[in-house]
Amino acid sequence: MAGYEFLQTSRSRMESGWMRKKLIRAMEDNRGLILTVIGLPLSFLFDKVMQFRNWWYREFLSSPSKHMDRVATIQAQVVRNASQPAGQRKTMCTARPNWLSLSTTFFNKEACHKIPIPLYDILELNETNLTVKVEPMVTVGDITRYLVPRGYTLAVTLEIADATLGGLAFGVGMTTYSHKVGLYQETIAAYEVVLGDGTFVRATRDNEYSDLYHCLPWSHGSLGFLVGLELQIIPVKPYIHMKYIPVKGQKNYCEKIRELSGTYDGSAEVPDYLEATVFSKEEAVIMVGNFADVTTKEQAKKINNVTRWYKPWFYKHVEAFLTSGEGEEYIPLREYLLRHDKAIFWVLESMIPFGNHPLFLFLLGWMLPPKPAFMKLTTTPVVRAMTFTKQVFQDIVLPINKLEEQINKSEELFDTYPVLVYPCRIYDHGKHVGQLRPPREDQMVPGTNYGMFNDLGVYGVPRDVRERRRWDAVSAMRKMEAYTRSVGGYHFMYADTFLDREEFNEMFDLTQYEKVRRKYHAEGAFPHVYDKTKPEVDVVAIGKAYMDPLS
Ligand SMILES: Cc1cc2nc3c(=O)[nH]c(=O)nc-3n(C[C@H](O)[C@H](O)[C@H](O)COP(=O)(O)OP(=O)(O)OC[C@H]3O[C@@H](n4cnc5c(N)ncnc54)[C@H](O)[C@@H]3O)c2cc1C
């Protein structure tokens, strides 16, 4: 009898396993349809509710003059936590739900004492110093809406409207202006922070808290709560004159982007905005953008509102220049800044493969993009595992003198295109100053105090997965991370990483960070940056189990 029950149980387990696999395969095969019919409308509604909530908050609950009162409330909560007996005290984190963050990981906030940071206000525009003071929950969408009509933009921003200015400050930010000014952190004039003991400090590059100032970027909320930011802004013109330069041959496009970014000559004149989209190992389109006015009829005819709902996804528009040849146009500035928002760069292609069809765009394009927050809210364990066993989301800061090698490595390990290339200065601030090391000698731009690096953005489905073979995510990612460490690069920590603690310490210089953690009461008050950023699931074990032929 026992044997019969065992057989029955095994059989029903196999059947339910078989059913589960069938169901998952059916959902994967029809993901675009499911997303279109259910996901997009729900995401659109969800977005409208969130917009209403934010509007309500700004109209009725918020006011710039009450900034310090709001900060005092946060301080009081931190002090209350710090005064708990040692055994009962938990480390702290923000109460912002994981699903609202753009990160692909889900840090276990339940293990922490969650402190609400309801700070959504734009506080002050200083046109003399060219800075804007904001609270950390202001988003890229909000700040572009505020600054562009006033004739400014942030020196460094991101193309995703939902990213918060605080998240970019404590994570990392880079954009197509970064070949002129470096990472987002270089454009931060001051951070206002509530420390682990409840003290409020304002840290700048050269005040008494400059040691803290240099360690806050890449710290992911492990040194204190961010409550205010002063950011560098730049004067703008209403349009970006865009030139699209298709280039064949890997050496040619790599050389061209190095030349245009000023890699070889720090005094060379460089365009305002610069990026390349690599469509295959041998083909790329380089985009050169400059601030412009549109004053003539001829120019007006060349205006392209790239973000309108019926317009093709931006990278598809760019790809067309590979066949049509060099081209130019004028893009309204805010549309330029958010050009990659609708297709979330090219992430949307793997979710809704037919989403760029003109009919789809015409009928449903106004609902795009599906909100990252909504996608995360509906993430099941299976979908979570899929984010790293079947897809790649990586932004990696690598030295631009190795651009050819980076692209070859990405093809060898992931084989997914397009690949994004944003050139970016990495400044030499000296040894053990922050988490980034000074660039190596061969990476420096002659006669300057910075090296030229680039963001290599790899988002998509690896060829093995597309062709229904098993893709070894663990091996591929660990090889990529080893390569990054070997050339002195850095992975953005919003994405899943497979680094162990020792490898993390090798990638990032934590010498000063550890001192700052002790000095400013962060130890015991906030999780360590390694624990804060490592994926909440055992990516190595899940990845290995996925490769098991019996699974
Ligand atoms: C497809 C894709 C492409 C991307 N491409 C780029 C790119 O090209 N360039 C680029 O720069 N970035 C890129 N990013 C990453 C993006 O910049 C990060 O996710 C960034 O951190 C902003 O996200 P967020 O506002 O959701 O921050 P969050 O994830 O909310 O915050 C980042 C970290 O800071 C902590 N934190 C936030 N606010 C506070 C606070 N007030 N006090 C204490 N701690 C706080 C959070 O806990 C978290 O650890 C990309 C992301 C995706 C998904």
With a 6 Å cutoff on the Cβ, whether 166 touches ligand 1 is: yes
Dihedral angle over CA of 84, 89, 93, 99, nearest 10: -120
The CB of 158 under 6 Å from ligand 1? The reply is yes
pLDDT in single tens digits along all 551 residues of the chain? 444 454 455 555 555 667 766 776 666 667 778 778 888 888 899 888 888 887 887 778 778 889 999 999 999 999 999 888 877 889 999 999 888 888 888 888 988 999 999 999 999 999 999 999 999 999 999 999 999 999 999 999 899 999 999 999 999 999 999 999 999 999 999 999 999 999 999 999 999 999 999 999 999 999 999 999 999 999 999 999 999 999 999 999 999 999 999 999 999 999 999 999 999 999 999 999 999 999 999 999 999 999 999 999 999 999 999 999 999 999 999 999 999 999 999 988 888 889 999 999 999 999 988 887 777 776 777 777 777 888 899 999 999 999 999 999 999 999 999 999 999 999 999 999 999 999 999 999 999 999 999 999 999 999 999 898 889 999 999 999 999 999 999 999 999 999 999 999 999 999 999 999 999 999 999 999 999 999 888 888 888 887 776 55
Give the mutation target among 338, 492, 497, 529 for probing the ligand 1 site: most ligand atoms within 8 A of CB: 492
Is there an atom of ligand 1 within 6 Å of 148 CB?
A: no
CB 347 near ligand 1, within 6 Å: yes
Question: Could you tell me which residues come within 8 angstroms of residue 258 by beta carbon, excluding any fewer than 6 positions away?
Answer: 264, 400, 401, 403, 423, 452
Cβ of residue 94 lying under 6 Å from some atom of ligand 1: yes
Which residue's C-alpha comes closest to atom 27 of ligand 1? Answer: 167
Question: Does pTM surpass 0.75?
Answer: yes
- Token digits for 231? 């950011």
- Neighbouring C-beta atoms of residue 47, cutoff 10 Å: 17
Residue 298 has which token pair? 């001829």
Q: How far is the CA of 492 from the centre of ligand 1 (A)?
A: 9
Q: What 3-state DSSP class applies to 278?
A: strand
Report which protein residue has its CA nearest ligand 1's atom 33. 220
Task: From 92, 107, 143, 164, give the residue whose CB has the most ligand 1 atoms within 8 Å, as the site to mutate.
Answer: 164
166 C-alpha to ligand 1 centroid (Å): 8
Are 473 and 384 spatial neighbours (Cβ–Cβ below 8 Å)?
no
Cα dihedral 35/38/44/48 (nearest 10)? -150
